[in-house]
A and B are shown apart, each in its own frame.
Chain A
Amino acid sequence: MRARELTIRALLLGCALASVLTTAGIIYVLFTEALIAIPPEKAFFQEVSPVEFFTGTQWTPQYQEKHFGILPLLAGTFLVAGIAAVIGLPIGLAGSIYLSEYAAPRTRNLVKPILEILAGIPTVVFGYFALVFVTPYVLRPVFQGWLGMEVNIFNAASAGIVVAIMIIPIVTSLSEEALRSVPHALREAAYALGSTKYQVSAKVVVPAALSGILASFLLAISRAVGETMAVAIAAGQSPTMTLNPFQSVETMTAFIVNVSFGDKPQGSLEWKSLFAVAMTLFVMTLTMNVISQMIMRRLREVYQ
C-alpha cells in the first residue's frame, strides 16, 4: 500500500514537472539556436553580431545580400501594438468602469458572455475581418476617400484595429476585477463628501485600482505584441521602417510565420534568424507578463 501511494505521488510529480519541462524546452531551443550553440554548430549571434541585429535598419534575410537588422520588425510590431493599445485600452477601461460602477447585475450577466465569445473568436477570423471589411469599408472610404491618403490593402492600421478588438475583453474583465476589489467604504466616503458618480468612479475608484488596471494593460499589450495570425494576414510582409499606419509593415510574429512556410534547411542563417527573432519576442512578452503579475500580486496583498 505504501509503495503504491509513493508510486502515484511520483507519477503525479512527473505530470506537474511537464509544464516546467515545456519552459525549459522553450528556453533551451531559443538559446541554442540564437545565443550559444553546442559546438560544432554555430548560433545566430555567433555569426551575426548583436549590435548589427539590434541597431540595423534593414531586414533582408531572403535577399542575396543578407541584412539582419531587427529594427524594421520591431517598428512594425510597435506600430501595430501601439494602434491596438491606443484604441483598445481606453475602450476596455471605460467598459470595465461601466460594468463595475454603473451596470445593473443583469446587464453584467449579459455582457460577460458576449465578451467571452469575442475573446474566443479565432485570430485568423479577425485577420479575415481586417482584410475584407476594415480596410475596404472603413479605412479606405474615410482616409483615402475623404482625406486623400493612400491606404495600402495590407496596412498596420487595420491589423491594429482588429488586435484592439481582441484585447478589449482582456482589459475589460481584468480591470473590472481590479475595480470591484476596491472596498465599498471608499466609495461611500466619497459620496458622503458630496461627490457625483463620475467623481467617485474616475477620481476615487480608478486611482485606487490603478495598479490592477496597469497590470491588465501590460498583459493586453503583451498579447498584442505576440499576436500572430491577424497581423500576418492584415499587416503584410514588407519589413519597412515607417510610422505610416496605412503602409504595409511586417511584425516579428508575421516574419516567423512567413519563414516557416519555405521550410528553410535546418542550420542555415535564415533558419537561425527565426530563433533570434523569436527570442526577442519571448523576452519582451515575458518581461511584460512578469511585471504585470508582480503588480497583481501586490494588489492582492493590499486589499486582504
Chain B
Amino acid sequence: MNAAQTSLPLPTAPPVKMPTSSVPPAESTKYLLHVRRRPVFSRWFERGFEWTCAASTWFGLGVLIVLLIGVLWQGGSWLTLSFLTNYDSRHPEQAGVIAGLWGSFWLVSLATLLTVPIGVGAAIFLEEYQTKGWLRTLIEVNLSNLAGVPSIVYGILGMAVFVKMFGAFQHDPQLLEVSLGFTSMQIPLPFGRTVLSGAMTLALLMLPVVIVASREALRAIPSSIRHASYALGATHWQTIRHVVLPVAVPGITTGVILAVARAASETAPLLMVGAAIFLARTPGGIESPADVFRHPHGLLEAPFDHFTALPIQIYNWVSRPEPEYRHVAAAAILVLLAVLQVFNIAASIARARSRSRARW
C-alpha cells in the first residue's frame, strides 16, 4: 500500500493577507510570517523533490538505453554470421567469437553440473535437517559473507588451488591416466590453465547464489504437506525426495539460471585462472554439435583443454589499441547480451511456473 493513497488530502493554508505596516514586526510575528509564506515556496520545493527522485529512478533506464544504442551503433554492422563462426584474428574484420562461445559454454555447463548438486544439497541440509544450532548459524554467517567477497578473490583462490594446486606438482607435473574401459582420460596434475580450473572457480562463485535461491524455494513450501507425508509413514528423506523437492524445482531452477547468467558474465576470475587472451581452438576441438559424433573423444578432452570465454575476448578487444577492435568488441557485447537475455527469459518463465503451480 502506498502512503500517498492512504493519507488524507493535505491541508492547504488559507489565503493570508500579508501585513503591510512599515513597522518591523516583532520576533514572534516574523516567525509566523515565515510559516505563512512557506506553502508558496514549499509547493515548488515539493514538486522539485518529487521530480528529482523520479529522475533518479529513470536514470537507470536512460543509461540502459544509451548503452544499448551505443553498442548497436558501434557493433551492429559487424555482427555477421561469420563473426559467430570465426576464430580471433589479427585482422579485425576476420575476428570472431567461436572460441569464446564454446569456451563459455563448457565453463558454464561444467560449473553448473558441479554447483547444483552441492548447492541444493546444502540448502536441503539447512532447511530440512539442521534447522537450528551453532552449525547452522556458522554456515549462514559464512554464506552471507561469501556473497560479498569480490569475484577476483575467488579467482585468486582458483589460481592457487586448482591451477597450481598449492605448488604441489610445481617441479614434476603429472599426467594421470584414468581408464574408463572403452577409452581413457588424461588428467593433468595440477589442472593448470584448463577449462576444469575455470569451471571449478565459477562453481565456487555460483554456490552462494544457488544455496540462497534453493533455500527460499524450500522455505516457501508449507510444513503441513511435510507432516501429511510423515503421517502416511514416509521417512525424512522420502518426504524430501518425493514431496518437497518436486514442488521446489521451479524455484530452484530460477535461482540456478540467474547464477548461470552471473557466471557467464564473469571476467576477472577467469583471467586469474589463466583464460587465454588469443586462442584459435575450441575446447576438445568441438566446433559444432555434429563434431560430438564425429569426434566423441573431444568430450573427454574438452575439460582439460585451454580455453577462452566470451567476456575475456571482449576484454581483449577493448584493450587493443586499434580502433577497429572497438567495433569487434561491440559486436561481441551484443552476442553476450543476447545470451544473457535468453537466460533472463528462461528465468522469468521458470519463476512464472513456480508461482502458478504452488497452490495450497
Q: Does A42 contact B (CB under 8 A)?
A: no
Smallest CB gap from B211: residue in A: A19
Q: How many residues of B contact A (CB 8 A)?
A: 95
Which of B15-23, B105-113, B140-148 lies at the binding interface?
A: B140-148
Q: Does A15 contact B159, Cβ atoms closer than 8 Å?
A: no
The one of A26, A197, A226, A228 in contact with B10, judged by C-beta atoms closer than 8 angstroms, is A197
- Cα distance A119–B54 when bound, in Å? 19
| Chain A residues positioned under 8 Å from B144 (CB to CB) | 289, 293
Smallest CB gap from A33: residue in B: B160
Q: Does A94 contact B (CB under 8 A)?
A: yes
Interface residues of chain B: helix, strand, loop or mixed (majority):
helix
Q: Does A105 contact B (CB under 8 A)?
A: yes
The one of B57, B142, B160 in contact with A103, judged by C-beta atoms closer than 8 angstroms, is B57
Interface residues of chain A: helix, strand, loop or mixed (majority):
helix
Chain A positions 276-298 with a Cβ under 8 Å from a chain B Cβ: 278, 281-282, 285-286, 288-290, 293
| Chain A residues positioned under 8 Å from B153 (CB to CB) | 26, 30, 226, 278, 281-282
| Chain A residues positioned under 8 Å from B204 (CB to CB) | 22
Shortest Cβ gap from B281 to chain A (Å): 19
The one of A12, A98, A131, A261 in contact with B50, judged by C-beta atoms closer than 8 angstroms, is A98
Contact A222 B315, CB 8 Å, known A16-B130, A18-B207, A168-B60: no
Render A6-23 as a binary contact track against B, CB cut-off 8 A, 1 for contact. Answer: 001101111111111011
Q: Which 5 A-B pairs rank lowest in CB-CB distance, beginning with the nearest? A: A226-B150, A15-B121, A122-B265, A98-B53, A289-B148
Q: What are 13 contact pairs spanning A and B, CB under 8 A?
A: A19-B122, A19-B142, A19-B146, A114-B64, A115-B60, A122-B340, A125-B333, A191-B3, A253-B152, A261-B271, A278-B153, A282-B150, A286-B145
**B binding-site residues for A, Cβ under 8 Å:** 1-4, 6-8, 10-11, 42, 45-46, 49-50, 52-61, 63-64, 66-67, 70-71, 74, 117-122, 124-126, 129-130, 138-139, 142-146, 148-157, 159-161, 164, 167, 170, 204, 207-208, 211, 235-237, 261-262, 265-268, 271-272, 274, 277, 311, 314-315, 318-319, 326, 329-330, 333, 336-337, 340, 344
Q: Besides the contacts A124-B267, A132-B329, what 16 more A-B pairs have beta carbons closer than 8 Å?
A: A12-B129, A19-B211, A94-B57, A102-B4, A111-B57, A122-B311, A131-B318, A172-B57, A184-B3, A196-B46, A256-B155, A257-B152, A282-B149, A282-B153, A286-B148, A293-B145
